[in-house]
């Protein structure tokens, strides 16, 4: 095993990545490819499932072959993925019947309102830990069944399969043999009972979804099967599966109750380990499964922010204010503050703790003196301010303050953002040496299943701190930021409400 490697497949919202890890938890090879974002209508977001598969298979092969290795050098594959994104395909051919409907997609917001009007909110929350929202997979499945010709009848006959992205990748890697998911991805569908660990018949009936479409649910760390695709000539165990935020929590080694991490990716996802019992949120957070290893289920509280790093992509691609995402910190540093400008990046509605699918992006406080640098700074501050809202809700649910916040994801290389986050939260923000903790978590889960690593205790020692950001901003200044932000969020929601 010492001479072998773990291959982590990290299928994200904007790109597919693959990373090879050695026994010390170091990345020795990485490959990445972006893919097309499809926006058929305002608020709709889709991906081509075949492009998801082809880019992921391509980077998997590239990461291995550019090191002069082959499938026999790989001890196991761990898969982590964008969650909630919904794919329905034909069992006979493996062909998708519609594009993947992405987690950011809001087309089912009206249907969610209808489910709430039927009094289902409490039932859904009690069984799944989730609010009723178009973010999750269930209403996306329902939409496909109702809007693709013949889909509902075909589903009733058992001809169609549903999967989140992990399921779709495994289906293809095993040449249509395995239709499986893990508890973390299942827990994001709004159809999975996180207490019984099974698909819930009452919810399936309420949302008119045939059970025969759904994959078998496995743990997050076990050998579910072996690859059979042409990507690798040698069969490789598929041994780890976890949704991206669950994998990141594990990769950050937040293995004790009360430990928390925030991932700054396309969205921001603040997750706290709550131990072996689910904590019901009173503050609009999500109760979810962190992972299942062996017979032990670990639960978590999560706050999902739909637009994090995506606001920087918008400044780059949408309005051409910067040429690359890395330019934003330099631009933002040319001014001491945002000069009273607040940006609410509700491009896909507001996530936790507001859960308002109708809210839209807004910028407040603009004057004749506002420059691109002020907008850049306001965009970065918005990422941290949204995270502040979530952490405060989390602390209210637990009745205690967190000791520190571990951070990961592409945006954590931005020191300005990390320092501002520490200032807002009033606790240390800690960046690890390996910020690709999503892929690392998937690798750890797979490696544990094949005894590449003997135990969690063994890998605990591999987590290393890169930099610690401690609060330093004047308390009055912090208070002004928080007050301004609350005004901006309230105004953004009011604008959406007035459009009814």
Tens digits of residue pLDDT in 39-91: 999 889 999 999 999 999 999 999 999 988 888 899 999 999 999 999 999 99
Place of tokens 């010709």: 149
* Right CATH for 5-234 from 2.60.40.3500, 3.30.420.40, 3.40.50.720, 3.40.50.300: 3.30.420.40
Asked if residues 370 and 321 have their Cβ atoms less than 8 Å apart, the reply is no
* Contact residues for 393 (Cβ-Cβ < 8 A; gap 6+): 281, 283, 284, 285, 303, 352, 353
- Are 77 and 444 in contact by the 8 Å Cβ rule? The answer is no
The whole-number pLDDT of residue 482 equals 94
Residue list for the binding site: 13-15, 17, 83-84, 135, 244-245, 266, 309, 313, 410, 414
Q: What is the pTM of this model?
A: 0.87
**Residue 230 scores a pLDDT above 80:** no
Burial class, 294, CB count within 10 angstroms (exposed 0-12 / middle 13-18 / buried 19+): exposed
Give the β-pairing of 362-364 and 342-344.
Answer: antiparallel
Distance, in Å, from the CA atom of 417 to the CA atom of 411, rounded to the nearest integer, reads 8
C-alpha angle 486-490-495 in degrees, rounded to nearest 5: 150
Confidence label for 325 from pLDDT (cuts 50, 70 and 90): confident
What was the pLDDT predicted at 69? 84
What mean pLDDT is predicted for residues 30-40? 94
**Binding site for sn-glycerol 3-phosphate: which residues?**
13, 83-84, 135, 244
Q: Which residue numbers belong to the known binding site for ADP?
A: 13, 17, 266, 309, 410, 414
State the pLDDT at residue 433: 87
Question: pLDDT tens-digit profile of 345-391?
Answer: 988 788 878 888 788 899 999 999 999 999 999 999 999 999 999 99
Confidence of residue 1 (pLDDT cuts 50, 70, 90): low
Within 10 Å of residue 160's Cβ, how many Cβ atoms?
26
Q: What residue segments make up the domains of the chain, in order of their start? A: 5-234, 254-499
Contacts of 66 (CB under 8 A, 6+ apart): 29, 31
DSSP 278: P
Average of per-residue pLDDT across 467-496? 92
E strands within 67-178? 74-81, 87-90, 100-101, 160-163
pLDDT exceeds cutoff 70 at 236:
yes
Q: How far apart are CA 79 and CA 9, in angstroms?
A: 5
Length of the chain equals 500
- What distance in Å separates the CA atoms of residue 96 and residue 161, rounded to the nearest whole number? 9
Q: pLDDT grade, residue 123 (50/70/90)?
A: very high
Share of the chain above pLDDT 90, in %: 73
Taking 90 as the threshold, does the pLDDT of residue 500 lie above it? no
Residue 465 CA, chain-centre distance (Å), reads 23
pLDDT of 2: 66
Average of per-residue pLDDT values in the chain: 92
- In this prediction, residue 229 has a pLDDT band, given cuts at 50, 70 and 90, of confident
- Least confident among 195-204, 375-384, 389-398: 389-398
Are 249 and 273 a contacting pair, CB within 8 Å? yes
Angle at 307 between CA 305 and CA 312, to 5 degrees: 140
**Same CATH fold, 254-499 and 5-234?**
yes
Per the annotation, where are the binding residues for glycerol? 83-84, 135, 244-245
Average pLDDT estimate for 327-332:
91
- Give the three-class secondary structure for 480: helix
Q: Which residues make up each annotated binding site for ATP?
A: 13-15, 266, 309, 313, 410
pLDDT in tens, 273-314: 999 989 988 888 989 999 999 999 999 999 888 888 888 888
Q: In whole angstroms, what is the distance from residue 184 CA to residue 83 CA?
A: 9
Q: What is the pLDDT of residues 397-456, one digit of tens each?
A: 888 888 899 998 888 989 999 999 999 999 999 999 888 889 999 999 999 999 999 999
Asked: is 254-499 a CATH 3.40.50.170 domain? The reply is: no
């Amino acid at each position: 095993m010492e001479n072998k490697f773990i291959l982590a497949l990290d299928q994200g919202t904007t790109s597919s990545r693959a990373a090879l890890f050695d026994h010390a938890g170091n990345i020795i090879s990485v490959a990445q490819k972006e893919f097309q974002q499809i926006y058929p209508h305002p608020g709709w977001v889709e991906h081509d499932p075949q492009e998801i598969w082809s880019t992921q298979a391509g980077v998997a092969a590239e990461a291995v072959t550019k090191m002069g290795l082959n499938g026999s050098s790989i001890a196991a594959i761990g898969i982590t993925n964008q969650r909630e994104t919904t794919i329905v395909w034909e069992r006979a051919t493996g062909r998708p019947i519609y594009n993947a409907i992405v987690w950011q997609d809001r087309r089912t917001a009206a249907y969610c309102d209808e489910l709430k009007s039927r009094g289902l909110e409490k039932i859904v929350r009690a069984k799944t830990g989730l609010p009723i929202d178009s973010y999750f997979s269930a209403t996306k499945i329902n939409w496909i069944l109702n809007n693709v010709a013949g889909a509902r009848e075909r589903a009733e006959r058992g001809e169609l399969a549903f999967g989140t992205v992990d399921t779709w990748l495994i289906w293809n890697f095993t040449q249509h043999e395995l239709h499986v998911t893990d508890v973390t991805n299942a827990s994001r569908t709004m159809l999975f009972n996180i207490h019984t660990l099974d698909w819930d018949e009452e919810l399936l009936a309420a949302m008119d979804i045939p059970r025969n479409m759904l994959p078998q649910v496995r743990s997050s760390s076990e050998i579910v099967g072996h690859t059979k695709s042409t990507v690798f000539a040698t069969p490789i165990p598929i041994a780890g599966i976890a949704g991206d935020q669950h994998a990141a929590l594990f990769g950050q080694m937040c293995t004790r109750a009360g430990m928390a991490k925030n991932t700054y990716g396309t969205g921001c996802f603040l997750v706290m380990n709550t131990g072996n019992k689910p904590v019901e949120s009173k503050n609009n957070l999500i109760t979810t499964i962190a992972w299942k290893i062996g017979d032990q289920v670990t639960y978590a509280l999560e706050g999902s922010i739909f637009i994090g790093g995506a606001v920087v992509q918008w400044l780059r691609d949408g309005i051409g204010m910067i040429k690359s995402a890395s330019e934003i910190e330099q631009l933002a540093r040319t001014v001491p503050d945002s000069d009273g400008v607040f940006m609410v990046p509700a491009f896909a509605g507001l996530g936790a703790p507001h859960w308002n699918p109708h809210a839209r992006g807004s910028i407040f406080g603009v004057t004749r003196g506002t420059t691109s640098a002020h907008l850049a700074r306001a965009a970065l501050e918005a990422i941290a301010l949204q995270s502040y809202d979530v952490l405060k809700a989390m602390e209210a649910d637990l009745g205690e303050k967190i000791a520190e916040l571990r951070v990961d994801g592409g945006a954590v290389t931005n020191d300005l953002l990390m320092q501002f986050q520490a200032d807002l939260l009033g606790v240390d923000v800690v960046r690890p040496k390996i910020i690709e903790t999503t892929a690392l978590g998937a690798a750890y889960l797979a490696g544990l299943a094949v005894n590449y690593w003997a135990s969690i205790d063994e890998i605990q020692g591999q987590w290393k701190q890169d930099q610690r950001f401690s609060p330093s901003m004047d308390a009055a200044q912090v208070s002004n930021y928080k007050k301004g932000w609350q005004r901006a969020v309230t105004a953004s929601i009011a604008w959406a409400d007035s459009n009814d």
